A and B are shown apart, each in its own frame.
Chain A
């Protein structure tokens, strides 16, 4: 159960945080502080057990046998008349030392082997990884029991063995941490600058895995305490000193006489191990960053204006000036039979500190039937967020906080959350083509299944009919062997083929509006043109409306009728495609156009000049 506790992301996340800052942040977490205080109390009570309590944990007095709590003995006495509290304090010594031995062993074996395996790889890596999985397949308690019959019941030997059995968790964590950083450029840089392997490992690599190791260590210590108590409970431990497990065992034999006796040792184990677990969890949360506020409470747009902090770096002067004249009368331009109308759309993400980050701010646009609208802007300009708002597929953490979206005259989304129309339209009237083909196909199902399933659910087709239609579609999107592709899994086809399959899926149920989110960005240049041709062909023969989200003006020139340009969450210009290319009004649009290198004269290496002086495209 050990290695699954820390997701791989945690390892990388720490690299960016830095040690001092991380531990200071952990101490701001109240759970972490409380658990550390409890652990400190347990440790102190173990160290100063003799000073705190006047009772000798081994002194038996039959007059005091099973004495009730809160009398002479604070927590009562056990069946032999020994003070329970004193035995708890002294028992903590056994548990803590045992946990430390196991932990030290696990770290001493796991970290060096993990470092070597991850950093140098090769035969040692394969051998040690195999050995780690072998150790993990061993039933720990049985192995320890078997070894006790060889090495005797001494605590040190038992806990060393147990630490060795827990070392695969540390090994795997260390190894994966090292593997994830060893390809980083700064490691290469360190190598080039002549640092020795030893220095690189101790400086750069250990720093990355420090926090995950602390988390893992808290888990190992917890498991060790529980296992040790278990062995003592079974009676295979050292019976001469007081220990929590032994106390439980004695309480168990008196369970009918004094049932409350099982409470104290159990509670102290639970408290100690629980504190370790909570500390580990708190550290993990700090490393990964706190989870953002979940459900978005919908507010009226006006209140948002008051409370929201605008994180966007809107150069307000520029944006105010931008709203170009031909764009100003947008409401008038909007035809009555527009397929899709977006009005004053505002999308926000609430932050843990109570503010809201607004990523789309007052976007209004429309798409007619059979029209292709290009939605252009650089990364982070809010164009994809606008597209997902239309589809009703914003992440859980975000929401429409202002404006409305209507489709074919019906409101499908608005800020008050009253209309949830997009869900009913998805697949039927709205189609979506994603950017990254490979991550957008379910790896566990055949391509054919993923095409057939929506057709059966939405169009109500029978299985053979849906299959026939899917094969037809695959043929239409230019796949050479539809049958073979139909039966293939996503990992068995190329990116270009996967994108064709996704296009086939998007148009399978004959949508009226197709939203394509940078459909060619992730593809080879040679495939890009073919996919664009395909999209244009499909759009024309079905006279679909289409929103083409892109940052590429080449794509815009190729396929779009109209263009809307976004910057930092706002719409800065909207115009017919040709008009925009001829005469961009907005300075940002001009800048975007000028940074398109297509159609500029080829530059020779010697006469290279700054791009900006090269003039705009066309």
Chain B
């Protein structure tokens, strides 16, 4: 198990490094003059040159890369070109908000799709048809449109839930939760729809296995068969889907945050994109990828714990 863990950890570090490097190189090859962008058209050539020197843009690419990487390893992604705020500070302010939404959404997705998927696989009948129809519906309806509908119904018309704003958990847990209901609700429609269907498929696959029949022949209770044997064997593929959903949710949250005016990474990402704020975007991408890698690592570990065969491979 220790070797399994080390291997995965090593692969994760390599992945983060490669993506960080690729992003840096791509972003640095941008056309145009960043210093000119920052200062605007009114600035003189001297001012622009001075700004370039200040930002280190007059250095060769290799030097800039080594400098950036060296600092990034220590968690220092430099300062925003436009606000001059340290990138790490703004990320530290924004990420908790986005993570509140994404983590809650992934937990809700895991729970509800497990219940729906397993019930559909075992009971079949109407709930099975519902899960399959829901899968198409959840795929077809963009989550930001669902969010708009939810806002219209619950915030504009019924006025029972807040349309906008975020209250930190530490300030008021109840209002924190109320504020999360609509954004999370909008996000999970799609993720539950596809995850539940995957859980259903995985469960049906396991139910068809020979060993399930043999376990039945041993007289094991239905409950034990389902919750111990079937769920455990159906979990790894479902977990893999869940980790992909997490990646998708990080992106989806950006749009959702705009609708609910949540002060998360969404506005940061969009503004940095529109301005071409290189340090900000780089920091954002790296932190995102680290998050994704951590989640994948956790999922890998869970899979290894559930499935003894995965530990050796």
Contacts and interface: CB of A to CB of B under 8 A. Distances in A.
Interface of A: 1, 4, 7, 134, 136-143, 145-150, 219, 222, 226, 229-230, 233-236, 248, 251-252, 255-256, 259, 262, 265-266, 269-271, 273-274, 277-278, 281, 294-295, 388, 391, 393, 425-428, 430-432, 434, 436, 439-445, 450, 453-454, 457-458, 489, 491, 502, 505-506, 508-509
Contacts of A445: 228-229, 232
A259 B219 contact: no
A141 B136 CA distance: 22
Contact of B214 (A236, A251, A252, A502): A502
Interface in B244-302: 244-245, 247-248, 250-252, 254-255, 258-259, 269-270, 272-278, 281, 284-285, 288-289, 292-293, 296
Given A270-B141, A444-B229, A137 B289 contact: yes
Given A139-B288, A270-B137, 9 more contacts: A134-B19, A137-B293, A140-B251, A142-B284, A146-B273, A219-B139, A270-B140, A432-B217, A443-B233
Interface stretch (B66-74, B88-96, B105-113, B303-311): B303-311
A430 B247 contact: no
Given A1-B241, A141-B251, A255 B148 contact: yes
A143 B255 contact: no
B255 A134 contact: no
B270 A489 contact: no
A442 B272 contact: no
A233 B152 contact: no
Contact of B281 (A149, A274, A388, A505): A149
B192 to A, nearest CB: 12
Contact of B220 (A255, A270, A427): A427
A140 B240 contact: no
A453 B211 CA distance: 14
B156 A274 contact: no
A444 B273 contact: no
Nearest to A508: B218
A507 B144 CA distance: 59
Contact of A141 (B135, B240, B254): B254
A281 B217 contact: no
A443 B144 CA distance: 42
Given A142-B284, A230-B255, A431-B217, A443 B136 contact: no
Contacts of A273: 139-142
A260 B146 CA distance: 13
A355 B50 CA distance: 85
Interface of B: 15, 18-19, 23, 26-27, 29-31, 124-125, 132, 135-137, 139-142, 144-145, 148-149, 151-152, 156-157, 194, 198, 201, 209-211, 213-221, 224, 228-229, 232-233, 237, 240-241, 244-245, 247-248, 250-252, 254-255, 258-259, 269-270, 272-278, 281, 284-285, 288-289, 292-293, 296, 306-309
Contacts of A442: 211, 215, 229, 233
Given A146-B27, A431-B217, A274 B198 contact: no
B137 A274 contact: yes
A138 B149 contact: no
A262 B149 contact: yes
B306 A4 contact: no
Contact of A426 (B139, B218, B276): B218
A439 B250 contact: no
A139 B224 contact: no
Contact of A222 (B140, B198, B254): B140
B203 to A, nearest CB: 13
Contacts of B285: 142-143, 146
Chain B interface, >50% SS class: helix
Contacts of B29: 150
Contacts of A143: 285
Nearest to B287: A142
A4 B148 contact: no
B234 to A, nearest CB: 10
A-B CB proximity, top 10 nearest: A427-B219, A141-B251, A274-B140, A432-B217, A266-B145, A454-B218, A439-B210, A273-B140, A426-B219, A440-B214
Contact of B259 (A235, A252, A505): A252
A427 B217 contact: yes
Nearest to B163: A255
Given A269-B145, A277-B140, A444-B306, A234 B270 contact: yes
A145 to B, nearest CB: 4
A425 B218 CA distance: 9
Contacts of A229: 142, 144
B274 A262 contact: no
Chain A interface, >50% SS class: helix
A141 B102 CA distance: 15
Contacts of A274: 136-137, 139-141
A255 B209 contact: no
21 contacts: A1-B194, A4-B198, A137-B247, A137-B293, A138-B289, A141-B251, A142-B251, A142-B254, A146-B285, A226-B142, A230-B142, A230-B144, A236-B274, A270-B145, A271-B140, A388-B213, A393-B217, A442-B233, A453-B218, A458-B218, A505-B214
A273 B169 CA distance: 37
Given A150-B27, A453-B220, A233 B144 contact: yes
Given A146-B273, A274-B139, A259 B156 contact: yes
Contacts, number: 230
Contacts of B293: 137
Instruction: Determine which residue in B136, B149, B284 has the highest number of CB atoms from chain A within 10 A of its CB, and name it.
Output: B136
Contacts of B216: 393, 426
Nearest to B265: A142
Given A136-B244, A149-B274, A453-B224, A441 B211 contact: yes
Contact of A457 (B145, B220, B244, B251): B220
A423 B201 CA distance: 26
Given A147-B26, A444-B229, A491-B309, A266 B136 contact: no
Given A142-B284, A149-B272, A444-B232, A255 B237 contact: no
A1 B213 contact: no
Nearest to B233: A444
Contacts of B31: 150
B258 A234 contact: yes
Contacts of B220: 427, 453-454, 457
A432 B210 CA distance: 12
Instruction: Determine which residue in B15, B132, B145, B258 has the highest number of CB atoms from chain A within 10 A of its CB, and name it.
Output: B145
A434 B214 CA distance: 7
Contacts of B245: 1
Contacts of A142: 250-251, 254, 269, 284-285, 288
A443 B308 contact: yes
A266 B156 contact: no
A140 B210 contact: no
A277 B197 CA distance: 13
Nearest to B198: A4
A134 B220 CA distance: 43
A264 B152 CA distance: 14
B217 A294 contact: no
B292 A139 contact: yes
B289 A139 contact: yes
B217 A391 contact: yes
A134 B148 CA distance: 33
A430 B217 contact: yes
A294 B126 CA distance: 12
Instruction: Determine which residue in B217, B245, B293, B308 has the highest number of CB atoms from chain A within 10 A of its CB, and name it.
Output: B217
A399 B99 CA distance: 51
Contact of B292 (A137, A450, A502): A137
A459 to B, nearest CB: 10
A222 B275 CA distance: 30
Contacts of B132: 281
